[in-house]
Homo-oligomer: A and B are copies of this chain.
Amino acid sequence: MDTERTCLLIIDIQYDFLDASSPLFVRGGPSIISNIEKILNYFRENNQLVIFVKRLHRSDGSDVDKTRIELFQRTGGFLIGGTRGAEIVEAIKPLPSEAVVIKKRWSAFFHTELDLMLRREKIKDLIICGIQTPNCIRATFTDAISLDYDVIVLEDGTASSNLEIQKSNLLDMENIGAKILRTDEVINLLKYQI
């Protein structure tokens, strides 16, 4: 891993995925925040690139996934720009100097400027964390390796609605080239430039 060429991607750590009352609540979500905070702090202290990704929708639902329109309408909507539910949680709130990429679908690369930004910064390695593993994490990972990035997925910095889904998805990603590592392992790799 070339630490100079490594970016930390933090995906969808927004209240609407983390509040137990939200229709999009991911059960494993709240427990991973402290690990993400830990690696984020390491990146900030070492002036390494961090990019936040969030999902935002219009209040009329016109940009919501087709398969979620019914849920959006029935529940009054989610991840609507300007609402608290769409905000990144306080513990890891982006600094004014940190980039936030807005996405509308599962993959952080899908119809976004993310790949262009990573190329500009000559990034080779990505560390992916956030929620949730079978959907946005996996879709982002698939695009990332398709684009020739080397990818680490944080085992304890990603979450699913249950452990079985979490495990099967980490295995599938490992089978096509993801490195699955814990937060402390990655910080050690970065620290000692292994």
Let me know if B177 and A67 touch, CB within 8 A: yes
* Among all A-B residue pairs, the 5 with the closest Cβ atoms: A67-B177, A168-B168, A105-B146, A134-B172, A66-B148
| Interface size in chain A (residues, C-beta < 8 A) | 27
Contact A172 B165 (CB under 8 A): yes
Q: Is the CB of A142 within 8 A of B172?
A: no
The residue in chain B whose Cβ has the minimal distance to the Cβ of A150 is B66
Tallying the copies of this chain within the complex gives: 2
Interface of A, secondary structure class, is helix
Q: Chain B: which residue is nearest A148 at the CB level? A: B66
User: In the complex, which residues of chain B have a beta carbon less than 8 angstroms from the beta carbon of A150?
Assistant: 66
The answer for the CA separation of A8 and B83 in the assembled complex, in Å, is 41
- Give 17 new A-B contacts, CB below 8 A, not counting A134-B175, A165-B171: A65-B177, A66-B145, A67-B176, A67-B177, A106-B146, A106-B176, A134-B172, A135-B172, A135-B176, A138-B138, A138-B172, A139-B146, A142-B142, A164-B168, A165-B168, A165-B172, A168-B172
